[in-house]
Structure 1
Amino acid sequence: MMGPVLAACLLIILSTAWISQANGATCKKDGGVCTCNDNTKSVDCSGKMLTAIPSNIPLETTQLRLNLNSLSKLSPTAFHGLNKLTFLNLQFNKLQALPTGVFDHLFNLNELRLGANQLTSLPPGIFDKLTKLTWLDLDRNQLQSLPHGVFDKLTELKTLYLSTNQLRRVPEGAFDFLEKLKMLQLNDNPWDCTCNDILYMAKWLKKKQDEGLGGVDTAGCEEGGKAVLNVTEEEAAEDCVYPNTTTAIPTTIITTLASSNDDDIPELPVPQENFQKFLGYQEPDHLPTQPQCLMSISGYLGLMMSLVLTSAAILYVIHFLKKA
């Protein structure tokens, strides 16, 4: 009877090893794709063509690099449990939106890099829990507007990049709580200097120029290239309407559109659907708390070997049970 007992023990050991390998596939040493440094508590998953965030990122991680991948969406709980993070890099992905609350557990985050994605808007309160943030990078996206109060809780922020977006204005009071700001980049946005909504930003930039804030002259009007901080009330005298708080449309244009024939209005192109398939992987509609990571070849082979050995152990148990 010792045969079946030994076989059962072998089965338990192999099953445990297989589960451990399957769930611990973050770092290369465990069969994953990311490089982990135990000394600096950093995890580098950059440039791995990931379509989902790797599973089981160590809870003690302080620096996480997910840049240069193919992430197109995030689970609302993607970073829950990683409350020791001080640095998070999501640059150069395909993110089109940020779920509400995705950063709410990152109480210690100092630096957040979201540049070079496809963000068109931000959820209200998306940064409210990041009260220790000193660096925020939102450049090279497609932001058309900013929610009211989106930066109000970032009282420690020193660097803010908003360049290369589709911003035409900012909400009244958008920058009022950024008392420690040292650098602000606003270039390559179509700032509308004909609408009086631009006057808040113009006056704020003018004041901050006198206080030595860097980058205040990087915001240029869409027409003429004049610096926004030099716009006068006479130049920005027009009342504008902002449908859905996205872009500023002068009332004269709205009147013209309303009176025009429907046949004269060009058909807007529909953007091609952004599929989330890569190397045979397809994300579910709602990612789990810790979505599975794309496995390296060595990790995949290890799992296959574990499955083979487990199957052999099961057959071994069945064989001895039949004899018994």
Structure 2
Amino acid sequence: MSNSAVPETAAASATDPYEVDECRGVLRVYSDGSIVRSSKPSFEMPVDDDGSVLWKDAVFDSVRNLQLRLYKPASAASSKKLPIFYYIHGGGFCIGSRAWPNCQNYCFKLANELGAVIISPDYRLAPENRLPAAIEDGFLAVKWLQSQALAEEPDAWLADVADFGCVFISGDSAGGNIAHNLAVKLGAGSPELAPVRVKGYVLLEPFFGGTVLTKSEAEGPKDAFLNWELIDRFWRLSVPAGETTDHPLINPFGPLSPNLEIAVLDPILVVCAGSDLLKDRAEEYATKLKNWGKKVEYVEFEGQQHGFFTINPNSDPSKKLMEIIKKFIVEYSA
């Protein structure tokens, strides 16, 4: 009788960790729970820094070394205070950074086109830090602005040109979810941020979810830029442990979510792409709030994909969106 022993190399490979989740080549999760993040962004593009916008980084949470990036038009003069516009990046709560080229290029464009100070914060990412970490960090990034407004010696780079009483909070995808949750937490007039005053919110293709799929989620094309398989993966990696996508931070109308009908909210602009699988949730959100008497505007860009305005910021739809955002800021700045 032969004695066929398993080679040591084969035995070792059978127990080696294997990849169980991957997000746009940036995040890889393995069977043993280990996580590998690439230093490279998922969008390879040059940074379009022509000097027309000045920028710098600042730490808003020294404990976790979380940073935000500040932008202002190079032509800004201290004689005229500029509105402040937060731009919170997307990435399914799992990937993304203020320093990615697509994020930085869009902030350059926002600063120039809106004539505003742009604040783009990072936040802790899942699965290392599941929700509510990202929401908590978004709040800290806004509280940082309050600390500047109250400081005896604020950062002159910011304070000389920024109007602390005219702030708009915007977010893209997961960032749009964060912006919504900040709107609910802060309420109309944002009294706990005084003297900082939030005047409105811009939700760009907000990343909402729920256990019951919408029509656009269930029937959306599999080759969409943000397809259902990727949406589902983002949620699996980011929902609080033991929870579902009906969690109040994820589903604004979930069984345990706060009653938005009685919530007092600042004006909200909701933007979505017509070919985005998230479209139905964004439209439902805007429609319900509007029917409840909130100041809500909904704009849909027919035929566009998720993230169209950062993927191609010079397209006609992207230019139209910038005009809509600027109009919203002008309307509610007074």
Q: 1 or 2 for the larger relative contact order (CA 8 Å, sep ≥6)?
A: 1
Report the structure, 1 or 2, having the larger strand content.
2
Report the structure, 1 or 2, having the larger helix content.
2
Q: TM-score, normalised by structure 2?
A: 0.28
